[in-house]
């Protein structure tokens, strides 16, 4: 990390803290939806395929709207994007506790409205705003801090949600979530998007369309986008289906809460470590190593005899790798293309992530309904790990000529 002052002024500090809290709320709530399945199944008649489709659609729309919210962030400011996103989030939660919460209404609430909401409130927009405040020397470390805050939400939310579901029921739990979202609406106005590029060459004349054309002419951008698809598949499959998988394997219910909490806890360490190391070492080699390591962890988890110890260790090691892809991925986008349109460009990369998420969540449920197990979903996950490990290697870690100083 650079020896220069990390936090340049009060505005940067307030924005960083607010972004962290926004991500905690948004991702913390999102992480727990899989824990509601059994209640939704009993009270609302939701099948596993329907649930997987709804969460898969949520993932897809999350990604589909991320570039649009990114463009809003780049032009008008992140506070506008986050505020709009939390409005959609609130509407989705309230629909789930209303009288219109079955069938297509269920899909609309948890799938469509919350999917759109995540595009403006989850990791991509807060991280994009923070990235604009930091020069290249400290940028991935700052990204790691925001990403790690989401991990804290991952750690706390499953424990609280399990307690709340038992003590108060799923409807009251969702109303508590609604109150947290209301806090997010206030926090939105405390994240400030800088008008000028921080660090590097100023490129104010480049339009969003020109930025897109420049990015898609780069093979490195294409490879990075394809690799992030795999990250989405992995995360959605685990987050959506681990409660059912644990039940299928005959393990106690507390293993689900423990796995999700361990993912959150150790992801804090993973993302902070990733953000720090990405300042010092090759980002593409880090990404390749992370994806290959995920394949190894998944293989050990599914091929060893099931036990609580193996389940907990899976949460620990997979948690360390969970969002550790984000700092080097976004760091590469910002380094290669600059930060003026980073919201839009990272939004496109994130769209690929969410296409993978949609397929991981949906096909996981389909495979289970067809074959009675998640075996094929896990096998695909391991194959995708190898694919992602290889596709990052040809990436060229070099700024586009527009940003290079002469």
In a domain, 221, yes or no: yes
Q: What is the per-residue pLDDT for 31?
A: 80
Is 404 a member of any domain?
no
DSSP result, 53-112: HHHHHHHHHHHHHHHHHHHHHHHH-HHHHHHHHHHHHHHHHHHHTSS--STHHHIIIIII
**Structural domain count of the chain:** 1
Host domain of residue 197: 10-399
Range name among 149-163, 369-383, 385-399 with the lowest pLDDT average: 149-163
For residue 152, tell me if it sits in a domain: yes
Render pLDDT for 67-126 as a digit per residue (tens, 0 to 9): 899 889 888 899 999 999 999 999 999 999 998 888 899 999 999 999 999 999 988 899
The share of the chain scoring above pLDDT 70, in percent, equals 96
406, part of any domain: no
Name the average pLDDT for the chain: 89
Sign of the four-CA dihedral 288, 365, 31, 166: negative
Asked whether 327 and 134 are in contact (CB, 8 A), the reply is: no
Contacts of residue 86, defined as CB under 8 A and 6 or more positions apart, other chains included, come to 26, 117, 120, 121, 181, 184, 185, 188
Q: Is 139 or 163 the better-scoring residue by pLDDT? A: 163
Q: Is residue 82 in some structural domain? A: yes
Position with higher pLDDT, 261 vs 300: 300
How confident is the model over 161-186, as pLDDT tens digits? 989 999 999 999 999 999 999 999 99
In a domain, 274, yes or no: yes
Residue 186 lies inside a defined structural domain of this protein = yes
199-210 average pLDDT score: 68
CATH number, domain with residue 126: 1.20.1250.20
pLDDT at 279: 84
Asked whether residue 314 is domain-assigned, the answer is: yes
Compute how many other C-beta atoms are within 10 angstroms of the C-beta atom of residue 280: 9
């Amino acid at each position: 990390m650079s020896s220069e002052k990390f936090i340049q002024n009060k505005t940067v500090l307030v924005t960083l803290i607010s972004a962290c809290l926004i991500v905690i709320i948004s991702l913390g709530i999102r992480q727990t939806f899989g824990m509601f399945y059994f209640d939704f199944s009993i009270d609302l008649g939701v099948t596993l395929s329907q649930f997987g489709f709804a969460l898969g659609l949520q993932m897809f729309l999350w990604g589909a709207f991320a570039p649009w919210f990114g463009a809003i962030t780049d032009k008008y400011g992140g506070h506008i994007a986050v505020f709009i996103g939390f409005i959609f989030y609130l509407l989705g939660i309230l629909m789930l506790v209303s009288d219109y919460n079955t069938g297509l209404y269920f899909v609309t609430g948890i799938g469509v409205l919350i999917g759109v909401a995540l595009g403006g409130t989850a990791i991509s927009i807060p991280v994009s705003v923070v990235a604009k405040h930091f020069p290249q020397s400290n940028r991935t470390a700052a990204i790691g801090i925001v990403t790690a805050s989401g991990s804290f939400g991952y750690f706390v939310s499953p424990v609280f949600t399990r307690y709340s579901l038992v003590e108060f029921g799923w409807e009251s739990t969702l109303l508590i979530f609604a109150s947290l979202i209301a806090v997010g609406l206030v926090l939105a106005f405390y994240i400030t998007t800088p008008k000028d590029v921080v660090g590097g060459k100023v490129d104010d004349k480049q339009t969003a369309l020109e930025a897109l054309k420049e990015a898609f002419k780069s093979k490195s951008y294409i490879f990075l986008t394809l690799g992030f698809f795999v990250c989405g598949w992995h995360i959605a499959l685990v987050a959506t289906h681990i409660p059912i998988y644990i039940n299928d394997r005959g393990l106690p219910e507390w293993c689900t809460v423990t796995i999700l909490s361990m993912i959150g806890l150790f992801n804090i360490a993973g993302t902070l470590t990733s953000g720090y190391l990405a300042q010092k070492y090759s980002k593409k080699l880090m990404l390749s190593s992370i994806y290959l390591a995920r394949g190894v962890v998944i293989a050990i988890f599914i091929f060893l005899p099931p036990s609580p110890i193996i389940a907990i260790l899976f949460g620990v090691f997979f948690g360390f790798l969970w969002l550790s892809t984000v700092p080097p991925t976004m760091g590469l986008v910002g380094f290669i293309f600059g930060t003026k349109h980073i919201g839009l460009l990272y939004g496109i990369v994130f769209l690929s992530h969410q296409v993978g998420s949609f397929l991981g969540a949906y096909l996981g449920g389909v495979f289970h309904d067809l074959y009675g197990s998640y075996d094929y979903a896990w096998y695909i996950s391991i194959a995708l790990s190898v694919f992602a490990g290889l596709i990052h290697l040809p990436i060229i870690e070099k700024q586009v000529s527009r940003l290079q100083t002469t």
